[in-house]
Amino acid sequence: MSERVLVTGALGCVGAWAVKAILDDGDEPVGYDLGDADHRLRLVLSPEERESLTLVRGDITDADALGRVLDDERITRVVHLAALQVPFCRENPALGARVNVVGTVNVFEAVGARLDRIPGVAYASSAAVYGPADPSPAPESGGLAPGTIYGVYKLANEGTARLYAAESAVPSVGIRPYVVYGPGRDQGMTAGPTLAMEAAARGEGFAIAYGGAAQYDYAPDVGRAFVRAAAHADGAVVANFPGVRAPMAEVVAAIEAAAPEAAGQISFADTPLPFPAELETGALERALGPLPATPLADGVRATIERFRAG
């Protein structure tokens, strides 16, 4: 029997790729999202695939509505991605806390009441749990002094998960992506490299607002990892995403190799991100087994091709 997988934040970048992974598995995705912008779904899914997605408009801060969708749609797996990203939390910290912190508590409460049917919660934490003072490579057990309020909220999600496992036996896997890139990545502090790929696909230049080295996580691989994590039912795993470490010059070189017409037109600032350049990884694959790991050059080329195809 196929699984019915709820994806909160299904209209977002990672959400669209999680929906794609669910469909590729032959399972049934149900999206739960506040928004109505379906441009990422149109970029990622074929028209037939979009037909197979049930979309429920709803707010993650509304615990009753969330519980209703779990029951009405007979949900058997949960991938929780709905969140406000760094700039939005900075602009409106109270709303950020409601969505990112209270919303995640709602997911754990709702799943905890339905453990007979749903094995646990896969949820998005972030490399933003680290701060600029953390060492690089940053130990996977670290991430206790975030440099942004968004990171503080993500750290609260990890604490929530730990206590729901200890006190209410709700298993979870929290994945900490770093810079997600790929089709659909068009908002947030680290969207610059993907926006540069989109510009390059049109033969245009782009100025990326940060530099330094970071880890780059290909959105289809990230979506796949979350879907795998939703079937895991043991403890409270928190893991960095095993992406590719690269300095920005290497990212730009990969863009120029895939779109030579944009050569010399992609620039970047010197300022590094307020996170360690490199993160220790291993916990995710120890919990879930081997995961797809697309090399940077291949991910950048595929992204530019997707943008060219429209």
How does strand 266-268 pair with strand 236-240?
A: unpaired
Q: Please tell me the distance from the alpha carbon of residue 209 to that of residue 218, in angstroms, as a whole number.
A: 20
Q: Per-residue contact track with ligand NAD, 17 to 36, x per CB under 6 A?
A: ----------------xxx-
What residues contact residue 46 under an 8 Å CB cut-off, 6+ apart? Answer: none
> Least distance in Å: CB of 237 to ligand NAD?
16
Applying CB under 6 A, does 204 fall inside the site for ligand NAD? no
Q: Which one of 6, 22, 155, 180 is in contact with ligand NAD (CB under 6 A)?
A: 180
CA proximity to 128, closest of 162, 70, 86, 164? 86
Q: Specify the stretch interacting with ligand NAD by CB under 6 A; choose among 6-14, 45-53, 162-170, 251-259.
A: 6-14
Q: Which residue has the tokens 């970047």?
A: 268
Q: Which one of 22, 41, 81, 304 is in contact with ligand NAD (CB under 6 A)?
A: 81
Q: Please tell me the distance from the alpha carbon of residue 201 to that of residue 185, in angstroms, as a whole number.
A: 15
Q: Are 101 and 112 in contact (CB under 8 A)?
A: no
Applying CB under 6 A, does 124 fall inside the site for ligand NAD? yes
Cβ-based nearer residue to ligand NAD, 69 or 165: 69
> Least distance in Å: CB of 305 to ligand NAD?
21
CA proximity to 3, closest of 23, 17, 33, 31? 23
Give whole-number Cα distances, 67 to 97, 143, 244, 246, in Å. 20, 31, 37, 41
Q: Please tell me the distance from the alpha carbon of residue 15 to that of residue 24, in angstroms, as a whole number.
A: 14
Q: Which one of 5, 6, 7, 13 is in contact with ligand NAD (CB under 6 A)?
A: 13
Applying CB under 6 A, does 38 fall inside the site for ligand NAD? no
Applying CB under 6 A, does 61 fall inside the site for ligand NAD? yes
> Binding-site residue total for ligand NAD (CB under 6 A)?
29
Applying CB under 6 A, does 9 fall inside the site for ligand NAD? yes
> Least distance in Å: CB of 60 to ligand NAD?
4
Applying CB under 6 A, does 240 fall inside the site for ligand NAD? no
Q: Which one of 12, 119, 174, 193 is in contact with ligand NAD (CB under 6 A)?
A: 12
> Least distance in Å: CB of 180 to ligand NAD?
3
Q: Specify the stretch interacting with ligand NAD by CB under 6 A; choose among 44-52, 78-86, 196-204, 272-280.
A: 78-86
Q: Are 154 and 125 in contact (CB under 8 A)?
A: yes
CB neighbours (10 Å) of residue 231? 16
Q: Give CA 67 to chain center in angstroms.
A: 23
Q: Is the dihedral of CA 242, 175, 248, 146 positive or negative?
A: negative
Applying CB under 6 A, does 246 fall inside the site for ligand NAD? no
Residue numbers at the binding site for ligand NAD (CB under 6 A): 8-9, 11-15, 33-35, 59-61, 81-85, 99, 103, 124, 126, 177, 179-180, 185, 187-188, 190
